[in-house]
């Protein structure tokens, strides 16, 4: 586990200084209108602190995948306008990232002023962590604050590269992620239960192996469960299944027994004729999925089993839905698990991505201890990998 005792925005004097703050403003947009501003709201405590301390605030972020070109479909202008409303003060929008407009606006900032650079991914150098680009970005500021946990697992110029040229600290959001997730992994209240869903075992090998060293129980649902069924000779029809990972599934089961970790798999499933929202569907036991049918959710008996197993938990980490939770016919499993986690009384951490979206959409968000802002980052954090966007920050 990397050193997580990092300096925060409160450990450095920001007053009167130009501060480059990396946020995660990668928000969903429809017709240039922000449809969910959660990520912007999550950044407000750090931004407001910097304003209150009289810093000259230069915000930066990526949005979407513009592939290293100035593509105005991915402009951050709607974010600047929305931030302006949330902060109750103007947020100047730069026309470029490290060009003359950005530099002029940064130089003109007064104490407590805020500006936003254009999408850092308009430059291909950003994702390459190009030193020359990092240096140009850093040249506009005197301090770097990283508050974008969602991209902390990426070694990009705006997440890690600039720290080579500026004193670097974390904002409140990264501080919160480190404190809650780090605390749960290092010293969990027991029993410690992990729930893993999603499509593929291969995406989560490292996480499973790391968790088997720490948890008392591992619950597996979603598409990845069918690889386990197949590994033990069950028919899975046309369900998603990684045939080249059957040995790995058997190895995981063996390791869970050796480590005395209870491993729960679905006992029944909701199966469908086709991968379609309105497909014909039925419930069936997990070991008898017929040819031509595919599993798209956990069944009622599994919902009961999983819910009962979560009732006495002390700490729960959940990453990945139990089925195709965005479709009403196949969302019951994810909803039942979300309800059980919410009612468990455990320290509950939702590891970003699809499970976070499901919990929000189903109305259980306020019942969870912590919903991580980073899907990939939270998985790598749980796995114990070093996150470049955190490793680059100054140690306390």
CA angle 196, 357, 70 (to 5 degrees): 115
Write b or e for each residue in 247-260: b if 16 or more Cβ atoms lie within 10 A of its Cβ, otherwise e.
Answer: ebbeebbeebeeee
Tokens of residue 109, six digits: 């900032």
Residue 357 token pair? 């979206």
Looking at residue 382, its pLDDT comes to 86
Residue-level pLDDT at 32: 85
Rounded to an integer, what distance in angstroms lies between the CA atom of residue 62 and that of residue 69? 12
What does pTM read for this prediction?
Answer: 0.87
Supply the pLDDT for residue 3: 65
Extract the tokens encoding 372: 């991580």
pLDDT for the residue 46: 98
pLDDT score of 4:
74
What domains are there in the chain, each with its CATH number?
9-175 (3.40.50.1260), 188-383 (3.40.50.1260)
Name the DSSP class of 260. Answer: T
pLDDT for 67 equals 93
Q: Which residue has the higher pLDDT, 353 or 232?
A: 232
* Mean predicted lDDT score pLDDT of the chain: 94
Query: Could you report the per-residue pLDDT of 165-174, keeping only the tens digit for each?
Result: 999 999 999 9
For the cut 70, the answer to whether the pLDDT of residue 208 exceeds it is: yes
Q: How far apart are CA 319 and CA 322, in angstroms?
A: 10
- Per-residue confidence (pLDDT) for residue 385, from 0 to 100: 86
Which residues are marked as active site? 39, 200, 353, 376
State the average pLDDT over residues 141-161: 95
Q: Is residue 301's pLDDT more than 80?
A: yes
pLDDT at residue 70 in the model: 95
Distance CA 65, CA 363 (A): 29
Give the residue among 60, 48, 73, 351 at the shortest CA–CA distance from 194.
351
pLDDT (tens digit, 9 = 90+) per residue, 87-132?
A: 999 999 999 999 999 999 999 999 999 999 999 999 999 999 999 9
Q: Are strands 268-272 and 281-285 parallel, antiparallel or unpaired?
A: antiparallel
265-278 pLDDT, tens digit each: 999 999 999 999 99
Q: Give the residue from 258, 276, 378 showing the smallest Cα distance to 326.
A: 276
Give the residue with greater pLDDT, 202 vs 259: 259
Give the mean model confidence (pLDDT) for residues 329-355: 92
Q: Is residue 77 predicted with pLDDT exceeding 60?
A: yes
Q: Average pLDDT in the 25-54 region? A: 94
């Amino acid at each position: 586990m990397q050193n997580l005792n990092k300096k925060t925005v409160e450990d450095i004097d920001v007053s009167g200084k130009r501060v480059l703050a990396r946020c995660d403003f990668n928000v969903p947009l429809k017709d240039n209108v922000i449809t969910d501003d959660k990520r912007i709201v999550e950044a407000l405590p750090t931004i407001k602190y910097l304003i209150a301390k009289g810093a000259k605030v230069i915000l930066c972020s990526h949005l979407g995948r513009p592939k290293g070109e100035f593509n105005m479909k991915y402009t951050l202008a709607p974010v600047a306008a929305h931030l302006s409303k949330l902060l109750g003060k103007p947020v100047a929008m730069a026309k470029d990232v490290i060009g003359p407009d950005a530099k002029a606006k940064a130089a003109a900032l007064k104490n407590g002023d805020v500006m936003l650079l254009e999408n850092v991914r308009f430059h291909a150098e950003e994702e390459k962590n190009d030193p020359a680009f990092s240096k140009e970005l850093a040249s506009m500021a005197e301090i770097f604050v990283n508050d974008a946990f969602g991209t902390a697992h990426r070694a990009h110029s705006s997440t890690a590269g600039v720290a080579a040229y500026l004193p670097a600290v974390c904002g409140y959001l990264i501080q919160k992620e480190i404190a809650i997730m780090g605390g749960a992994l290092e010293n969990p209240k027991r029993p410690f239960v992990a729930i893993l869903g999603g499509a593929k075992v291969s995406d989560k090998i490292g996480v499973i192996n790391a968790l088997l060293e720490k948890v008392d129980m591992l619950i597996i649902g979603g598409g990845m469960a069918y690889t386990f069924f197949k590994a033990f000779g069950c028919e899975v029809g046309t369900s998603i299944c990684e045939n080249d990972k059957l040995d790995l599934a058997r190895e995981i089961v063996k390791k869970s027994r050796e480590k005395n970790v209870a491993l729960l798999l679905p006992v029944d499933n909701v199966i469908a004729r086709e991968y379609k929202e309105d497909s014909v569907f039925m419930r069936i036991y997990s070991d008898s999925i017929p040819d031509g049918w595919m599993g798209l959710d956990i069944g009622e008996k599994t919902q009961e089993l999983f819910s009962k197993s979560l009732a006495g938990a002390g700490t729960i980490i959940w990453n990945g839905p139990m089925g195709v939770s965005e479709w009403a016919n196949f969302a019951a499993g994810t909803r039942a698990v979300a309800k059980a986690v919410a009612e468990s009384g455990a320290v509950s951490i939702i590891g970003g991505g699809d499970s976070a979206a499901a919990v929000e959409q189903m109305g259980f968000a306020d019942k969870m201890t912590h919903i991580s802002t980073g899907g990939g980052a939270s998985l790598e954090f749980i796995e114990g990998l070093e996150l470049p966007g955190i490793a680059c920050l100054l140690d306390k």
